[in-house]
Structure 1
Amino acid sequence: MKTIETIATVTKDGKITVQLPPDIPAGEHQVVIVIEDKPVAEKVAMKEKRPPFNFPVDHYGSWPENLSLRREDMYDDWGR
């Protein structure tokens, strides 16, 4: 028995189309179908309406003008 979670397309006449992995052999299979109450598009729209994260911001002022982040200025000849 395999459990496959995928997206299925349901047409207006109630037919369903599902893409299965290639390792499922051809022939008749017993399947169980669970349908969510809302279509996937509605769930995506609900996620987009979520407000953005509110991360704290600390401001320590601007960097000094003579600050150099070059590797040669940060490390000695031994690379430490």
Structure 2
Amino acid sequence: MKTIETIATVTKDGKITAQLSLDIPEGEHQVVIVIDEKPLVEKVESKEKRPPLNFPVHNCGLWPENLSLQLFSGK
């Protein structure tokens, strides 16, 4: 038995559509559906353009010419 939490779409004719992970085999499955009484509402602010994030800036001067930021894999 597997518990999956996802968002489903319910149409006017009572059909439900949900996206599941690919590890669920295709075919008929017995499921239990619990539905909130109120449908999800998109937040109004998500449609509005928000201002860019304001990250702090630290000036560390010039980087050495031979500076390498490549990670050492140890191989």
**Superposed counterparts of 1:1-80, under 5 Å:** 1-41=1-41, 44=43
TM-score relative to the length of structure 1: 0.51
Higher alpha-carbon Rg:
1
Aligned length: 47
Identical columns (%): 74
SS at match of 1:14: coil
- Structure 1 stretches of 5 or more lacking a match? 49-69, 72-80
SS in 1 for 2:17: strand
Q: Which runs of 5+ in 2 are unaligned?
A: 46-58, 61-75
Shift of 1:27: 1.2
- Report runs of 4+ in structure 1 exceeding 6 Å deviation: none
Higher RCO by CA contacts (8 Å cutoff, separation 6 or greater) = 2
2:9 is aligned with what amino acid?
T
Structure with greater helix share of residues: 1
Per the alignment, in what secondary structure is the counterpart of residue 33 of structure 1?
A: coil
Listed one character per residue, the Cα deviations across residues 15-48 of structure 1 (whole Å, up to 9, x for unaligned) are 1001110000011111000010100117x57xx7
Paired residue type of 1:18:
A
The TM-score, its normalising length taken from structure 2, stands at 0.54
Quote the RMSD (CA, aligned, Å): 1.9
